[in-house]
Structure 1
Amino acid sequence: MSQGNTAPVAESVDIAGVRVDSFTEASLVDHVLEMATSDGVDVAIGVNAHVCNLARKDPHFRRLVTDGSTYADGQSVVWAARLLGGHLPGRLATTDIAEPVLRAAADAGIPVYFFGAAEGVAERAATILREKIPELRLRTHHGYVAAEGIDGVLDDMRSHGTGILFVGMGDPAQQLWIDAHRDRLPPAVLTCGGLFDWLSGSNKRAPAWMIRGGLEWLWRLIIEPRRLAKRYLLGNPSFMAAVATQRLRGSKA
């Protein structure tokens, strides 16, 4: 499942060619902390319909996703598992699991690093989180770094003693960046897309009723229509068709 020495996850579900591991929030938090104290580098990736669509088109990207630990970041993935006869405990939005992971890291004395987003965004998120979790050792850097500046960022991660790294660049850029620099990364890495925008307040989270109903994608489309129209209006039907085809072929989760 991963290239470090963390314990394997007991169950997983195949969703349109992508393995999704069966985590609860508590077990995922425990797993990330185990990653942070293990040898090697382990990556945890949230899987949603968009990740599945990218993986179907790009075998290299699919390998990068399935070489790590995975969890159900999208409600559509949870529903697809049920349709295919499998089971995932529930959606684990990265926005929701970030704070439990950070609190556990603070309790364990594990330094954390945020890398990604526009200049100032990750640091604004960190300021808010440091007020909530005073014991948290958190350092940040924006994601707009020229090639010649990457060594400096990696050195900063190392000097911080980073055990858990959040990389927020969007898919597939974040997976490709991690793969390119894997031998210099901390032991636990989580891809997190636009997490820092949400944690900093740059983007407002969907109303609770939309989140409960699996409609957070619609909220995101409303607030960022130009960027996300293709992803959702074309991508969601494509994902549904792939899952339906898998069911018709009798390939159960």
Structure 2
Amino acid sequence: MRVDATTYADATAQIVAWAQVGEARYVCASNVHMVMETSDSAEFRDVVNGADLVTPDGMPLVWALKALGTAQAERVYGPTLMLHVCEAAAREGVPIALYGGTPESLEAFAQFLRTEYPGIELACMIAPPFRPPTPEEDALYTQQIVDSEARIVFVGIGCPKQERWMAAHTGRLDAVLLGMGAAFDFHSGRVKQAPAAMQKLGLEWLFRLIMEPRRLWKRYAKHNPRFVGKFALQLLGQKVIDQGRTARKG
């Protein structure tokens, strides 16, 4: 799976530049969960690799990039990137839309945005059902976004649903679509974020597991050990290749 080494400033500038000219693009914020979903599904791997930007959302991916030789890699965390983009959108007059969550969580998040970024244009807010929408519902929601003329759409319906939704809709919307997971609930205060120290240590998964053990334990038990094992094999293979190249040059 592709992961791009970028920064908050560079990613924000690129997203806003695309949005200002109405380009159809989508952006994934990748963590261990997403990596392992792409490992398990070739179809989903194509979805993520088809994105215009894949940011290293989790610290394990930053460490992996550095271990593979990308020394300048740094974390570009989805919920924080969202704030950078909202700030730039308010400043540049780029209308945004929210897709996901519940009507209550969207309204709480909208109030947060209006307070933090006066003048931000919330062109459209849609809380789709938690079940898969019917074709008629999907067509209605898509048309609502089109009619709103939003140029940035934050999608918060969880991985891997949001990435598949973005890939399926990017050709139908003249907007930049960003998969944001639980960012709506984080910023509205409905769900607690891990303390900064735990995030820097790559322990955000542990904090979330403590907060929601019944929902998340199977995910972490399935994905985390496999990620460590598979990356260890990838790193070992890369070192063998590098040693071979060095020996041939010698």
- TM-score when scaled to structure 1? 0.87
| Counterpart residue identity of residue 150, structure 2 | T
Report how many aligned residue pairs link the two structures: 236
What whole-Å deviation, never above 9, does each CA across 1:107-155 have from its counterpart, x for those lacking one? 1111000101233212210111111111100131113173222222222
Report what 2:246 is aligned to: none
> Contact (CA 8 Å) 1:40, 1:187: kept in 2 or not?
yes
- Return the offset for 1:94: 0.9
Larger radius of gyration: 2
What are structure 1's unaligned runs of at least 5 residues? Answer: 1-17
Is 1:144 the equivalent of 2:122? Answer: no
RMSD of aligned alpha carbons: 1.8
Q: Deviations over 1:3-42 (max 9, x none)?
A: xxxxxxxxxxxxxxx1111111100100111221345411
- Within 5 Å, give how 1:189-228 maps onto structure 2: 189-228=177-216
Quick check: 1:120–1:142 contact (8 Å CA) kept in 2? no
Equivalent position SS for 2:170: helix
**Contact 2:22–2:151 (8 Å) recurs in 1:** no
Distance 1:35 1:123, change over 3 A: same
Following the alignment from structure 2 to structure 1, what is the Cα–Cα distance between the partners of residues 81 and 37? 23
The separation in 1 between residues aligned to 2:27 and 2:156, in whole angstroms, is: 13
Note if 1:83 corresponds to 2:67: yes
Q: Report if aligned partners of 2:98, 2:154 keep a CA contact under 8 Å in 1.
A: yes
Residue 16 of structure 2 corresponds to which residue in structure 1? Answer: 33
Selected match of 2:110 from 110, 126, 131? 126
Q: Under a length normalisation based on structure 2, what TM-score does the superposition of the two structures give?
A: 0.88
What amino acid sits opposite 2:95 in the alignment? P
Report the structure, 1 or 2, having the larger helix content. Answer: 2
Percent sequence identity is 33
Check the 8 A contact 1:78/1:88 in 2, yes or no: no
* Gaps in structure 2 of 5+ consecutive residues: 243-250
Structure 1 window deviating more from structure 2 (55-64 vs 180-189): it is 180-189
SS of structure 2 residue aligned to 1:250: helix
Q: Report if the CA contact (8 A) 1:33-1:105 is conserved.
A: yes
Among 76, 97, 102, the residue aligned to 2:86: 102
